[in-house]
Structure 1
Amino acid sequence: MDERTAAAELQKLVNGFQVSQAICVAATLGIADHLKDCKRTSGELAALTNTHPQALYRLLRALASVGVFHEAEDRSFSLTPVGGALRSDVQHSVAPWAILAGRPYFRQAWSDLLHSVSTGENAFRHAYGKGVWEYRAEHPEESVIFDRAMTAMSRGVAAAVLTAYDFRPFSVVMDVAGGQGALLAEILRRNPGQRGILFDQPQVVAKAGPVFDAAGVSDRCDIVAGDFFVSVPEGADAIVLKWILHDWDDDTNIRILKTCRRAIRPEGKLLVLESILAPPNEGASAKFGDLNMLVMPGGQERT
């Protein structure tokens, strides 16, 4: 690669925040849902989304240039396979995560990455004077957006988890800090003789009922609210911790693990699901996810 080409490639990376924010806006407006059955002009989409026609066209034109949409000569737009992942009704929808990543508080925390790199401290706490969990508790509208993103991501990985691991030997599976239950619902759906326990904070599990109803497993799952630093329900022979330990420092994780150990059956198994860090020069997703742990909750990827 010559110097000019290398500079152009680096410029694309530097400007990646522009693409991210544009995708966030498209996801927030539900553009992909409006295009799922047919192509539409930017004017039609502006009317459907109550946006400025020319400004929306400029947004869509830019996203078409990076492959999210396809633009025709008449200013009509259609979905590409990549853009299809912004639909809200697909299994691997990225829309909820795109909306979360574009939230002002999320981006402001990332603006303090230099502080984290300089000191090893959590960027979010430096920017806001409190932890991200406390912040979301004080801003319930942000908690709703976060929970939607986690539910969508759980649905996206559930099939892979069930392919990789056999849950059939267990009679009771408990998902600790399991959000709104997307993963546990799929585990129970695939294992008809099994019971489940979903455990998370009250404001999170309050919206779990429809997830289990949709999977047809409501009669086999107990939804329990609480604090995993204090206690978790007893009786499970398998406890799942998915994307939990990476949120916390080592000492806090020891507290969580001790709580789980007290509750699980003597012969039970603890199943930890986290990202795997690839060898050098590979695996950008997990490694930038690790930076997100440094910036947002203050944890880290350890695998």
Structure 2
Amino acid sequence: MELEENIIISKIQGYYTAYLMYISCELNIFDYLYNEDMSINDLSEKINISRDKTYRLIRPLVANSFINEEDELLSLSRLGQKLSEYDEKSLKGFVLFNGRECMTCWSYMYEALSKNIYPFKLVSKNEFFDAQALDDGKFDNFNLMMRSSSRNMNLSPYLEQQYNKDDKLKIVDIGGGAGDIISKFLLSYHNSSGTIIDLEHVRKEAEENVGSHSLSNRCRFVSGDFFVELNIQGDIFILSRIIHDWEDEDAINILKNVKNNMDEHSRLLIIEKIIPEKIEKKNLYLYMSDLHIWSMCGGKERTENELVDICQESGLVLNKIYGLADFEYILEFQKDCYEEGVL
């Protein structure tokens, strides 16, 4: 087979592996093998699948280096451990969300493009975030994915060089979900207090998570919608992976609502991926991420200039950009006081 043919065939068949990972997570295969080596027979009984079908699932998992097989016993590789819910940096929630929600949307992309709508609108009668709020199962899928992503985000390159650790800062995480991001800030700035603003259905998990970090006395949950006027003061406002979910008009409305609560000393931290202006193969993940976010909720990944432009239109001025990892950045903005006539 020619090289070009092999490349094309292997890429179009990439969904084989994606579905294999998803099915294996649904069957809890990686969870069963996390702390115990098993034979095919034992695993077959655990997942309630015939031995023959179990073995046919295991073969490609071994070939893909998710599982090791030695002396007729199965064990997890380091790669496979990441797909168990018991791993500290588990990606199981991410895989389940993609399998349960995202793959279906991508299957409608051609039809959606031809109708000039984003694919999720062909999958559900509700907008993406409305669907999550109305369906506990969908919300659980989304929440697992988001929490996995937030827990694994390394903010140390920013936190270690900012502010005095003894400062008493008021930190507000808007759309903060279960509080994984604001917890990182509060654990770093031990005299500071925090507020999570999100929809009411997130409250229970947020309060439980904050409590697990012994931060209940320093962090509160306030029910709120970032499309509705907010009324809260803060030294640091956070929008983590929020803006990319929305087209420019909606994103500007969110940013203006935040800006209206800032004073001249406040800072807004926007945590997002940034697409470089030049198209390069090394940035393929970002281009695919951009298509993906559009397919789910009509949003977009932005270049630095695109993100700065909508912030400027919202009355915000860029101070500095901090690089994290995996194409993530923290962009620090302040209120444009000159625009409002304040010198």
Question: Quick check: which one's helix share is greater?
Answer: 1
Shift of 1:88: 1.7
Quote the offset at 1:167 in angstroms: 4.7
Q: Does 1:162 align with 2:156?
A: yes
TM-score by length of 2: 0.81
1:129/1:46 CA distance change after superposition, 3 Å: same
Q: TM-score, normalised by structure 1?
A: 0.91
Superposed displacement of residue 212, structure 1: 1.2
Report the CA distance between 1:22 and its aligned residue: 1.4
- Answering whether residue 246 of structure 2 is matched by residue 252 of structure 1, we say no
- In 2, Cα distance between equivalents of 1:128 and 1:52: 34
Deviations 1:123-152 (A, max 9, x none): 111343432112223322111111111011
Alignment pair present for 1:267 and 2:285: no
- Whole-angstrom CA distance in 1 between matches of 2:85 and 2:47: 15
Alignment equivalent of 1:78, drawn from 63, 75, 80? 75
Q: Is the counterpart of residue 146 in structure 1 residue 138 in structure 2?
A: no
Matched, 1:100 2:94: no
Query: How many residues are matched?
Result: 297
In structure 1, stretches of 5+ residues that fail to align are: none
Q: Which residue of 1 aligns with 2:53?
A: 55
What corresponds to 1:136 in structure 2?
A: 132
8 Å CA contact retained: 2:34, 2:86? no
Q: Which protein shows a greater Rg?
A: 2
Amino acid at match of 2:81: G
Uncovered stretches (5+) of structure 2, i.e. residues with no partner: 304-343
Partner SS, residue 102 of structure 2: helix
Task: Work out whether 1:13 is the aligned partner of 2:11.
Answer: yes
Partner residue in 2 for 1:230: 228
1:235 Cα offset (Å): 1.4
Task: With a CA cutoff of 8 Å and minimum separation of 6, indicate the structure with the bigger relative contact order.
Answer: 1
8 Å contact from structure 1 (residues 202, 226) kept in 2? yes
The verdict on how the C-alpha distance between 1:7 and 1:71 changes in structure 2, with shifts beyond 3 A counting, is farther
Tell me by how many angstroms 1:301 deviates.
Answer: 0.3
CA gap 1:233/1:51 in 2 versus in 1, 3 angstroms: farther
Q: Which SS does the other structure have where 1:11 is aligned?
A: helix
Q: Does the CA contact (< 8 Å) of 2:133 and 2:201 recur in 1?
A: no
Structure 1 residue 237, shift from structure 2 partner = 1.0
Q: How does 1:32-71 map to 2 (within 5 A)?
A: 32-71=30-69
- The one-letter code matched in structure 2 to 1:150 is M
Partner-residue secondary structure (3-state), 1:283: helix
* SS in structure 2 at match of 1:263: coil
Stretches (4+) displaced over 6 A: none
> What one-letter code is carried by the residue in structure 1 that aligns with 2:152?
G
Residue identity opposite 2:163 in structure 1: R
Any idea what SS the aligned residue of 1:71 has? strand
1:300 matched to 2:300? The reply is yes
Once superposed, what is the RMSD of the aligned Cα atoms? Answer: 2.0
Question: Which letter maps to 1:262?
Answer: N
Question: Match of 1:274, SS?
Answer: strand
Q: Which residue of 1 aligns with 2:211?
A: 213
Aligned-partner Cα distance in 2 for 1:11–1:72: 31
1:118 deviates by: 4.2
**Structure 2 letter corresponding to 1:222:** R
